[in-house]
Amino acid sequence: MENLLNIFIKSIFVDNMIFAFFLGMCSFLAVSKSVKTAMGLGIAVIFVLLITIPVNFLMEKYLLKKGAMIWLGEGFADVDLSFLTFMVFIATIAAMTQLVEMFVEKFSPALYNSLGIFLPLIAVNCAILGGSLFMQEREYENVLEATVFGVGSGIGWLLAIVSIAAIREKLKYSNVPDPLKGLGITFILTGLMAIAFMGFMGIKL
């Protein structure tokens, strides 16, 4: 239990997807103009991470790793498909986002309308593929740990995008030098926020 809590806190604050690894920056910069849309995209990212990371964990464990296919029989003990990792992960992600989209559309039209165009775009958000690749690199032991990591990263991402959106909303009223307006100042702000987030470094429960 303690271990899970540790992974959770760590993935939100210490290894924050945006402030420590810059993952999902494209949508982070493009969609952070208002808090409302930022919130929608953040929730969609949590949702998709929650589903894709455990699925990719199982893919990795029972299909890709060296000797992972042993459950098919002795003859498969030597098969090593790890070079197919990228292909399998991205296919899973694309398929899962499509499924999630159809599912949400059917069962919760209100949520579907608020997420709007963000859902399909998430397939190409680096935070999602990055989550799966980090999951593989850090070698989590079971599905539960991987899932907790996924949800934690998603929450961290939501936190980051909502806070930058709030700052940008206020920024409209400040006097920024012309060439720095828009993109430039957002970059510098994100950098400053990342420095603040570094205060969490080394936290261990």
Partner 1 sequence: MDNQEKEPMFSAKNLKLLTEPFGINNPITVQVLGICSALAVTVKLKPAIVMALSVTIVTAFSNLAIAALRKYIPDRIRIIVQLVVIATMVILVDQLLKAYVFDVSKQLSVFVGLIITNCIIMGRLEAFAMANKPWPSFIDGIGNGAGYGLILVVVSFFRELLGSGTIYGYPVLEKLGIFNLGYESNGMVILPPMALIFVGLIIWFQRSRSKSLIEK
Interaction between residue 24 and partner 1 (CB under 8 A)? yes
Residue nearer to partner 1 on the CB measure, 9 or 20: 20
Residue 178 CA from chain centroid, whole number: 33
Q: How far apart are CA 23 and CA 125, in angstroms?
A: 8
Contacting range for partner 1; rule: CB under 8 A; set: 47-55, 111-119, 153-161, 172-180: 172-180
Interaction between residue 55 and partner 1 (CB under 8 A)? no
70 within 8 A of 179, measured Cβ to Cβ:
no
Radius of gyration of the chain (CA): 19
Interaction between residue 34 and partner 1 (CB under 8 A)? no
Interaction between residue 203 and partner 1 (CB under 8 A)? no
DSSP 1-47: -HHHHHHHHIIIIIT-TTTTT-TTHHHHHHSTTSHHHHHHHHHHHHH
Interaction between residue 77 and partner 1 (CB under 8 A)? no
* Smallest separation, CB 200 to partner 1 (Å): 13
Contacting range for partner 1; rule: CB under 8 A; set: 22-30, 36-44, 59-67, 111-119: 22-30
Residue nearer to partner 1 on the CB measure, 73 or 175: 175
- Build a one-symbol-per-residue string for 106-125: x at contacts with partner 1 by CB under 8 A, - elsewhere: --------------x--xxx
Q: Please name which of 51, 50, 68 lies closest in space to residue 59, comparing C-alpha atoms.
A: 68
Contacting range for partner 1; rule: CB under 8 A; set: 1-9, 23-31, 106-114, 155-163: 23-31
Q: How far apart are CA 77 and CA 22, in angstroms?
A: 38
Residues 6+ apart with CB under 8 A from 78: 66, 67
- Residue at 92: amino acid letter: T
Which residues of this protein are in contact with partner 1, per CB under 8 A?
19-26, 29-30, 83-87, 89-91, 94, 120, 123-126, 128-130, 133-134, 137, 177-188, 190-192, 194-195, 198
